[in-house]
Amino acid sequence: MPPKDATSIVRRPPFGANPNVGERGSDTQRRILSAALDVFAEVGFSGAGVELITTRAGCSRPAFYQYFSSKDDVFWTLAGGLGQEMVALGGRLEPITPDAAGVATLAGWIDEFIGLYEDYAPVFSAFQAASRDHESLARGSSSISDRLGAALVGAFPTDRRAAGGAGLATGIVAVLIRCSFYWQHMPGAIDRQRLVDGLALIVHRLFLGPLDGVNVASSPTRRRRRPPPAPDRPAPGDERTLRPRGEQTRQRLLDAGAKVLPARGYHDARVDDVVELAGISHGSFYRYFANKEDFFRVLAEEASTDLIDLLDQFPADVHPGALRPWLEDWFSTYDANGGVISTWQEIHGPDPDLLSFSQQVAAAALARLADVLDQRGFGDPLVDALALLALVERIPYSVFTLGFTDRHDAIDAMVVIIRRGFLGLADAGGR
> 380 pLDDT band (50/70/90 cuts)?
very high
Q: Which amino acid is at 386?
A: L
Tell me: pLDDT of 11 over 60. Answer: no
Taking the C-alpha atoms of residue 4 and residue 27, their distance in angstroms, rounded to an integer, is: 9
Query: What is the second-level CATH architecture of the domain 1-69?
Result: Orthogonal Bundle (1.10)
User: What's the mean pLDDT when you consider all of the chain?
Assistant: 82
Confidence (pLDDT) at 350: 47
DSSP labels, 174-185: HHHHHHHHHHHH
Q: Can you give the pTM of this predicted structure?
A: 0.84
Average pLDDT of the segment spanning 170-185: 90
Q: Where do the structural domains in the chain lie, given as residue ranges?
A: 1-69, 80-217+379-431, 220-376
CATH level 3 topology of 220-376 = Tetracycline Repressor; domain 2 (1.10.357)
Q: Using CB atoms within 10 Å of the CB of residue 127, give its burial: 0 to 12 exposed, 13 to 18 middle, 19+ buried.
A: buried
Q: Where is average pLDDT lowest: 11-25, 32-46, 359-373?
A: 11-25
Taking the C-alpha atoms of residue 98 and residue 181, their distance in angstroms, rounded to an integer, is: 29
> 236 pLDDT band (50/70/90 cuts)?
very low
Average pLDDT of the segment spanning 351-368: 77
Tell me: pLDDT of 16 over 90. Answer: no
Average pLDDT of the segment spanning 404-422: 92
Confidence (pLDDT) at 4: 45
Q: Cβ of 184: how many Cβ atoms within 10 Å?
A: 15
Average pLDDT of the segment spanning 305-325: 83
> 431 pLDDT band (50/70/90 cuts)?
very low
Per-range mean pLDDT, top range of 198-207, 247-256, 349-358, 422-431: 198-207
Percent share of the chain, pLDDT over 70 = 80
> 240 pLDDT band (50/70/90 cuts)?
low
349: left (phi over 0), alpha (psi -120 to 50) or beta: left
Adjacent-strand bridge partners of 10: 20
**H-type helices in 155-291, by residue range?**
165-185, 192-208, 244-264, 271-278, 282-288
> 111 pLDDT band (50/70/90 cuts)?
very high
The reply to whether domains 1-69 and 220-376 share a CATH topology is: no
Q: Which residues contact 40 (CB under 8 A, 6 or more apart)?
A: 48, 75, 122, 123, 125, 126
**What is the tens place of the pLDDT at every residue in 31-51?**
999 999 999 998 888 889 999
Orientation angle between helical segments 71-91 and 23-47, nearest 10 degrees: 100
Average pLDDT of the segment spanning 187-205: 91
